[in-house]
Structure 1
Amino acid sequence: MKKWIKAITFIMVLTLILAACNTSKPQTSGASVSGDGYEETTIRLAYNLPQDHHISKGIEQFAKDVTDKSDGAVKVQVYPAGQLLSDKDMNQSILSGGVEMGVNSATLWASTVPAMGIFDVPYVFTTYEEAGEALNGEFGDKLRTAMEEKGAKVLLFADYGYAQFANNKRPLKSPSDFEGLKIRSIGDIPSEMIKAYGASPVFMGGGEVYMALQRNTVDGATSGTTAMLQRKYDEVTKYLTINNYAYLEFILAVNQDYWNGLPEKTQTLLTETAKETEDWIRLQAEAEDKLTAKQLEEKGMEVYVVPEEDLLEWKEAAKPAWDAFSKNAGDLGNKLLEMVDKK
Structure 2
Amino acid sequence: MRKRALFVGALLTASILLSACGKSSSTAEPQPNKGEENGYEPVTIRLAYNLPQDHHISIGVENFAKTVTEKSGGKVKIQVYPAGQLLSDKEMNQAILTGGVEMGVNSSTLWASTVPAMGIFDVPYAFPNHETAGKALSGELREKLNKAMEEKGVKVLMYADYGYAQFANNVRPLKSPEDFKGLKIRSIGDIPSEMIKAYGASPVFLGAGEVYTALQRKTIDGATSGTTAMLQRHYDEVAKYLTINNYSYLEFILAVNKNFWDRLPEKTKHLLTETAQQTEQWIRAKAKEEDERTAKELAEKGMEVYVVPESDLPKWKKAAQPAREVYIERAGDLGKELLDIVENIQ
C-alpha distance in structure 1 between counterparts of 2:231 and 2:89, whole Å: 21
Q: CA deviation at 1:32?
A: 3.0
Q: How does 1:176-255 map to 2 (within 5 A)?
A: 176-255=178-257
| Partner deviation per Cα, 1:21-64 (whole Å, 9 max, x = no partner) | xxxxxxx9734343200001111000000000000000000000
Other-structure match for 1:133: 135
Q: Unmatched 5+ residue regions in structure 1?
A: 1-27
Q: Of 252, 255, 260, which aligns to 1:258?
A: 260
Other-structure match for 1:87: 89
Q: Which runs of 4+ in 1 moved over 4 A?
A: none
| Aligned-partner residue type, residue 93 of structure 1 | A
Other-structure match for 2:173: 171
C-alpha distance in structure 2 between counterparts of 1:111 and 1:178, whole Å: 27
C-alpha distance in structure 2 between counterparts of 1:230 and 1:122, whole Å: 24
| Partner deviation per Cα, 1:282-307 (whole Å, 9 max, x = no partner) | 00000000000000000000000001
Q: Unmatched 5+ residue regions in structure 2?
A: 1-29
Q: How does 1:12-31 map to 2 (within 5 A)?
A: 30-31=32-33
C-alpha distance in structure 2 between counterparts of 1:33 and 1:60, whole Å: 28
C-alpha distance in structure 1 between counterparts of 2:325 and 2:75, whole Å: 49
Instruction: Classify 1:32/1:245 alpha carbon distance in 2 versus 1 (closer, same or farther; 3 Å).
Output: same
Other-structure match for 1:157: 159
Contact 1:183 1:200 (C-alpha < 8 Å) held by counterparts: yes
Q: Which has the greater radius of gyration?
A: 1
Other-structure match for 2:11: none
Confirm or deny that 1:66 pairs with 2:68: yes
Q: Of 285, 291, 294, which aligns to 1:292?
A: 294
Q: Secondary structure at the match of 2:196?
A: helix
Tell me the TM-score normalized by structure 1: 0.91
Q: Percent identity among equivalent residues? A: 73
C-alpha distance in structure 1 between counterparts of 2:333 and 2:41, whole Å: 41
Q: Secondary structure at the match of 1:108?
A: helix
| Aligned-partner residue type, residue 193 of structure 2 | S
Comparing 291-300 and 332-341, the one that deviates more: 332-341
Tell me the TM-score normalized by structure 2: 0.90
Confirm or deny that 1:308 pairs with 2:307: no
Q: Secondary structure at the match of 2:163?
A: strand
Other-structure match for 2:19: none
C-alpha distance in structure 1 between counterparts of 2:200 and 2:92, whole Å: 33
Q: Secondary structure at the match of 1:32?
A: coil
Contact 1:34 1:40 (C-alpha < 8 Å) held by counterparts: no
Contact 2:166 2:244 (C-alpha < 8 Å) held by counterparts: yes
Other-structure match for 2:322: 320
Equivalent residues, number: 316
| Aligned-partner residue type, residue 313 of structure 1 | K
| Aligned-partner residue type, residue 270 of structure 1 | L
| Partner deviation per Cα, 1:186-238 (whole Å, 9 max, x = no partner) | 00100000010011100010000000000110000000000000110000000
Other-structure match for 2:114: 112
Q: Secondary structure at the match of 1:102?
A: strand
| Aligned-partner residue type, residue 59 of structure 2 | K
Q: CA deviation at 1:342?
A: 5.2
